Structure 1
Amino acid sequence: MRRLLIGLATATVLVAATACGSSGSSGDSDKGASSGGTTTVKVGIVPIVDVAPLYLGQQKGFYGKRGLTLSLTTAQGGAAIVPGVVSGQFQFGFSNMTSLMVAQSKDMPVRAVANGVASTGVEGKDFGALTVKKDSPIKSAKDLEGKKVAINTFKNITETAVRQSVRTAGGDPDEVEFVELAFDQMPAALDGGRIDAAMVVEPALATVKSQGGTEIASSWVDVAKDLTVAMYFTSTQYAQKNPELVKKFQEATAESLAYADAHPDEVRRIVTTYTKIPAAVLAKVTLPKWPAEPNRDSIEALERLGRQDGLFKTAPDLAKLLP
C-alpha cells in the first residue's frame, strides 16, 4: 500500500501557570519541576475533546490540591507522544491504545496509569467517525478501496478502526491509501477534495458536519462496543521512582474524568480554550464517555485486530501495560 506522509509538524503549546524545569532521565528532573511545594509535570496530549478532563481538573483544582500543576504540550497523536514519555521529555502522556500496544510489543517501557476516553458505543452517535464530504459518491466503507483516507498517525487506533470498518462493509482494507494528517486539518482537506475520507474525532467531526459532510461508519463501534480508545500513561522507570506522584496523578485524573462526565456544558466551554472551534460548532459536538476504568474486553479486541493487520511483530503483554 502506498502511503503519503502529510503534515508531520508538531505544534507545542504550554498552558501551565508554573514554569517547568528541563526534563531529563535522572535526578530531580525525573520528578518534574518543584516550586513552593507544587510539582509541575509535563503531559503530552492531543488537542481534541478527549483531553478536556485534564483542562477541567487543572481549572477546578483537582491537581492543585494534590500538589500538582500540569504543563500540557500538544502533539499530533499518541505515536508521537510515546517516545517523548520514554525519553523523559514528558512525565505523562495521552495515547490511543493501539500506539501503546505497539510500543509495549517493542519492549518500550510504557505503563498505563489512568483511563482516558471511551466510545459512546452508539452507531451514528459517537465522538469519532469515518466521514466523507458533502455529495461524495462514497456511500460506505467498502467504497474506500483505492481512495485516500486521512488518519492522524500511521499504525494507531484510527488506522485499525478504518480497516475494521472497510472489512465489516465487505471491502479489502489493504486497498485503502492511508495519508497522515492532524485532526484539525482534516475538515479543510476533506472539503477541498485533497482526501476522499477522514477518520475524525470531536471537535473535528462537528466541523466536518457543519460543512455538510456525512458519516459512512462509526468505526469505534465497528471495533468493539464501548471501546476504550485511549489512556494516560507514564514510563515504567518514572512509575518506579515516583510512586506517590503517580498515585496523585491517578487520583486527580479519576476525579477529573468523573467531573467531565457529569458536566457536559463545562466540557464544551473548556474545549474553546485549547482549540479554535467556534462555540456554535461545539454545541453540536458529540461527547465521548469518560469512565473510571478501561474496558479490558474492548482492548483485547483491539489487540486481535492489530495482530491481524500486522501492527505487532510480537503480541503486546497487556498484563504489563494495563494498571
Structure 2
Amino acid sequence: MSSTALSRRVYRFTAAALSLVASVSVLSACGSSGTTTTADGKTVLRYQGSTGQVSAFELADDLGYFSKISLKWEGDTTSGPANIQAAATNQIEFGSAFNGAVVKLVSGGAKVTSVLSSYGADDKSFSGYFVREDSDIKSARDLIGKKVAVNTLGAHHEFITREWLHQQGLTEDEIKQVQLVVVPPANTEDALRKGQVEVGTLGSVFRETAVERGGIRPLYTDKAIFGEFDYGTFVFRDDFIAKNRDAVADFVQGTARATRWLQVTPREEVVARFKTIIEKRGRAENTELLKYWRSSGLPVPGAVIAEKELQIWIDWLVRNGELKPGQLKAADLFTNEFNPYANGTYQPTSGPTGEAVAK
C-alpha cells in the first residue's frame, strides 16, 4: 500500500467509526430479543473475553461476588470499539472500551451508559510508545512522515498519540502526516524491531517482555501525559439497564469489589488465582505470560468513574471538530449509583468485603 493510500485510510477512521455507529439500530435486531435466565433465576450476561487474560468480572465470578447474574462467554474481542459496538447492537450485554470511543459511540446515537471503570494507568501498568534504541527519532517532530503501530483506529492509542503530538506543538496538518498503522499487539514488537514501523505501541505483557529483551526505548507513555488515570469503562445498553437494574447492580458491585481485590492483594496471589481461572476455562490458553502481570492498572479504589475521565475526551473531540460544543455532557454518559465504593456501601479505602485495608 502506498504512503498516500495508507494516510487516506488512516485519517478516514472517524467516518468509518461513525458509519459503524449508524448501523446500531439496524444490527440490534440481530441480537437476542429477550433476557435469558438460568434455572435458579440468575440473569445471563453474555460477554467477550481476551485470550490468556482474566477480566475483573471473570475474577468476581470466581471469587463468588455475584448472586444475581451468570456470565456466558461469547468468544474473544478484537478491540475496545468492536467490544462496545457488540454491546450496543445487542450481541452481548456489556462491553469495555477507551472512554473516547465510548463518547464517539454515544455521539453517533448509541444508547449506552458507562457503569464502572475498566482499565487505566497506574505506576506499574501503562502503555508505552517505543522506538528502537538506535532510532534517530527523539521528538514528536521526528515522527512526521513516520509510521506508528496501534492495535486499532479510533481508540486509546490513537487518541494518546495525537494528544502527545498536539502537546508537543505539532499543527493539525503535521499530525495528519504521522501514519497510524493497525498492527495486532502480538506482532507489534516484531514489526518495530524489523523496521516495518518506527514506533510500536506496547502495553501489559507485551511491554514487559519487549523491554526485558532490550534494544528499545519509550518515546512517550500515556502515564507521562496524564499521570495515573482511568481510561476506559464498561457500558451497558440503556434499555437493558432499565429492564434489569438488579442484574446490572450485581455486575457492578461484584466487579468493583474484584477490582479492589486486585488493588490490595499481593501480586503472587493474584497471578496464581488467574492461572487457576484460565485453566478451569478449558480453552487451551497459554498461562506463561501471567508472570508479567503487574497490577490492575486502575488507580481509583473500586473503579469508581470520575466525570473528568469522560469530559477530557469530549473536549478533545470538540477541539478536533468531531463534536459540537455542548453536544454531550460527561455527567449524562455514566453512573456510579451501583458502585459500593461510591454509593456509601463501602468506604473508598476499604477492601473487597468492606473491611479496613491494613496499611
> When the two structures are superposed, what TM-score results if normalisation uses the length of structure 2?
0.73
Cα contact 1:92–1:234 (8 A) shared by 2 = yes
* Cα distance in 1 for residues equivalent to 2:223 and 2:167: 12
1:194 counterpart SS class = coil
* Cα distance in 2 for residues equivalent to 1:286 and 1:198: 22
The corresponding residue for 1:2 is 8
The corresponding residue for 2:317 is 306
Deviation at 1:133, TM superposition (A): 2.9
The corresponding residue for 1:188 is 190
**Out of 72, 94, 97, which is 1:95 matched to?**
97
The corresponding residue for 2:268 is 265
CA displacement, residues 162-220 of structure 1 (integer Å, 9 cap, x when unaligned): 11112223334222101122323322222232221122321221132133222111124
In the TM superposition, 1:231-310 aligns within 5 A as: 231-263=233-265, 264-269=267-272, 273=278, 276=286, 278-279=288-289, 282=292, 285=294, 288-291=297-300, 292=302, 293-310=304-321
CA displacement, residues 22-55 of structure 1 (integer Å, 9 cap, x when unaligned): x83422xxx2452444443112355587x63233
Q: Does 1:42 align with 2:46?
A: yes
Cα contact 2:126–2:222 (8 A) shared by 1 = no
Q: Does 1:26 align with 2:26?
A: no
Give the length in aligned residue pairs.
Answer: 296
* Cα distance in 2 for residues equivalent to 1:308 and 1:234: 27
1:203 counterpart SS class = helix
* Cα distance in 2 for residues equivalent to 1:183 and 1:47: 12
2:65 counterpart SS class = coil
The corresponding residue for 1:210 is 212
2:55 counterpart SS class = helix
Deviation at 1:311, TM superposition (A): 4.0
* Cα distance in 1 for residues equivalent to 2:195 and 2:133: 10
Pair member with larger Rg: 2
Cα contact 2:60–2:257 (8 A) shared by 1 = yes
2:38 counterpart SS class = strand
* Cα distance in 1 for residues equivalent to 2:316 and 2:159: 7
Distance 1:290 1:74, change over 3 A: farther
The corresponding residue for 1:219 is 222
> When the two structures are superposed, what TM-score results if normalisation uses the length of structure 1?
0.80
The corresponding residue for 1:318 is 330
Distance 1:70 1:25, change over 3 A: closer
* Cα distance in 2 for residues equivalent to 1:316 and 1:249: 26
* Cα distance in 2 for residues equivalent to 1:45 and 1:98: 21
Question: Residue type of the partner of 1:256?
Answer: A
* Cα distance in 1 for residues equivalent to 2:139 and 2:147: 14
Structure showing greater relative contact order (alpha-carbon pairs closer than 8 Å, 6 or more residues apart): 1
* Cα distance in 2 for residues equivalent to 1:25 and 1:69: 15
Q: Does 1:174 align with 2:176?
A: yes
The corresponding residue for 1:53 is 56
* Cα distance in 1 for residues equivalent to 2:242 and 2:198: 46
The corresponding residue for 1:10 is none
1:204 counterpart SS class = helix
Identity of aligned residues (%): 20
The corresponding residue for 1:230 is 232
Distance 1:267 1:166, change over 3 A: farther
Question: Residue type of the partner of 1:60?
Answer: L
Distance 1:221 1:42, change over 3 A: farther
* Cα distance in 2 for residues equivalent to 1:320 and 1:290: 23
Q: Does 1:136 align with 2:135?
A: yes
The corresponding residue for 2:112 is 110
* Cα distance in 2 for residues equivalent to 1:251 and 1:289: 16
Distance 1:311 1:107, change over 3 A: same
Question: Residue type of the partner of 2:147?
Answer: K
* Cα distance in 2 for residues equivalent to 1:319 and 1:198: 34
Distance 1:174 1:289, change over 3 A: same
Distance 1:111 1:280, change over 3 A: closer
CA RMSD of the aligned region, Å? 2.8
* Cα distance in 2 for residues equivalent to 1:318 and 1:296: 6
* Cα distance in 1 for residues equivalent to 2:80 and 2:100: 9
1:302 counterpart SS class = helix
Cα contact 2:31–2:91 (8 A) shared by 1 = yes
Cα contact 2:186–2:206 (8 A) shared by 1 = yes
Question: Residue type of the partner of 1:112?
Answer: S
Cα contact 1:77–1:152 (8 A) shared by 2 = yes
CA displacement, residues 38-83 of structure 1 (integer Å, 9 cap, x when unaligned): 443112355587x6323322222223x4442342632221211122
5+ residue gaps in structure 1? 6-22
Question: Residue type of the partner of 2:241?
Answer: A
* Cα distance in 1 for residues equivalent to 2:149 and 2:272: 28
